[in-house]
Structures are given as C-alpha cells and as structure tokens.
Amino acid sequence: MVMIKAKGNEFNLPNVKDSFNRRVQQFRELIIANLSKIDLLEGYVDVSEEIYGLKKAQASALWFIDGHRLYYSYNLCNTFVENLYVVSKVIELEVNKLLNKQKTMEEFIGEFTENKDVEEKRKEARKILGVNEDSKDMDEIDRKYKDLAKEYHPDMPNGSTEQFKIINNAHKTLKRELQ
C-alpha cells in the first residue's frame, strides 16, 4: 500500500483495481455523509464529477459553513478515483478531529477556507516560480523558490522587497496545495 500525507494526515491509499466508477460514487457519498455529521445539508456540498474514474484528473469538494466557502482538492495520485479517495479521507479525518474536540470550528474553517479563484492563483504561482503550469513536484518548486528568493532578497544587490513578497506568496500557495 502507498502511504499518503495530506493536510497533516497520514493514511494508506487503497489499491483500487476494479469498479472504479462505483467507487467514485461511494467516495462522493462518504464526503457528503462525513460533512453531514457537522449538520451540513447535502445541498451545500459540491463534489467534483468525472465520468471515467480511471482518468488522470483532480478531485475536489466545495462546501459552505457559516458564510464561509470551504474547499479541498487533490491531484497527486494517478487517477480521479484515487484523488477523490484522498479528498474523502482528509475530510473524514478532519471532521472527526472537530467532533472529538481536537479542533475547533474556527480551526476547521481556517483549514479549508479558500477563495473562488484558488485554481487561477495556483497557475499564477507556478508561472511566478518558473515551473510548468501542471507541476506537482514539490522538490522542483522548492528549488525554484530558493533560487528566486536568493536573487530577490532585499539584502541582495538586485533585491526587491515587493518581488520577494510575491515569490513567498507563490510558494505558500503551492505548498498549501501540495502538502
């Protein structure tokens, strides 16, 4: 089994060998069931859909609590069904932390709050750091970030406080997505 680390949680990725589309439906239902544990109605939850579970595609869930737009996506696995499993598992673990009082509602909301334009910000962050727009390699992203941070650090001859802040924000955006 493959060990996955996502949003500070570690768990095994199941080896999905058959019934991919049925499993996609099961994982969608698990997401809704887990969010319903915190009194969220199904109409306030939107889970990404993919017709073919074996396709390489990002999975995501979007839901609303107390006027906050909460969102989580994952795209590091090889198939949509695996990515959706990770989204489902992270939501399950985080909801359980909330229910077991290991996390407050404010912490839960803070963990998942993202703006509507998050995908566009991620593309822009990759462009700023000079990596391919679909790069998921955190080592490459870190290397590019460090090179640019050295070049634009305010104490360097070509340094720029403003450019340094932009580079830092781009790195934080991608780090939040990929870890």
pLDDT tens by residue, 26-65: 999 999 999 999 988 877 888 988 767 778 888 999 998 8
Q: What pLDDT score was predicted for residue 120?
A: 81
- The residue segments making up the domain with residue 107 are 2-112
106 and 22 assigned to the same domain: yes
Backbone phi, psi, residue 24, to 5°: -55, -45
Answer whether 136's CB lies under 8 Å from 6's CB: no
126 and 56 assigned to the same domain: no
Determine what percent of the chain is predicted with pLDDT higher than 90: 32
Secondary structure class of 61 (helix, strand, coil) = strand
Number of domains into which the chain is organized: 2
> Domain boundary at 66, 88, 112, which?
112
Query: Which domain CATH number covers 169?
Result: 1.10.287.110
127 and 40 assigned to the same domain: no
Answer whether 47's CB lies under 8 Å from 33's CB: no
Strand partners, 4: 11
For 30-44, letters b (16+ CB in 10 Å) and e give: bbbebbeeeebeeee
108 and 123 assigned to the same domain: no
Label residue 93 exposed, middle or buried (CB < 10 Å: 0-12, 13-18, 19+).
middle
Q: What pLDDT score was predicted for residue 69?
A: 85
157 and 107 assigned to the same domain: no
57 and 13 assigned to the same domain: yes
The residue among 33, 44, 58 whose CA lies nearest residue 122 is 58
Question: Per-residue pLDDT for 11 more than 90?
Answer: yes
Residue 97 CA, distance from chain mean position = 18
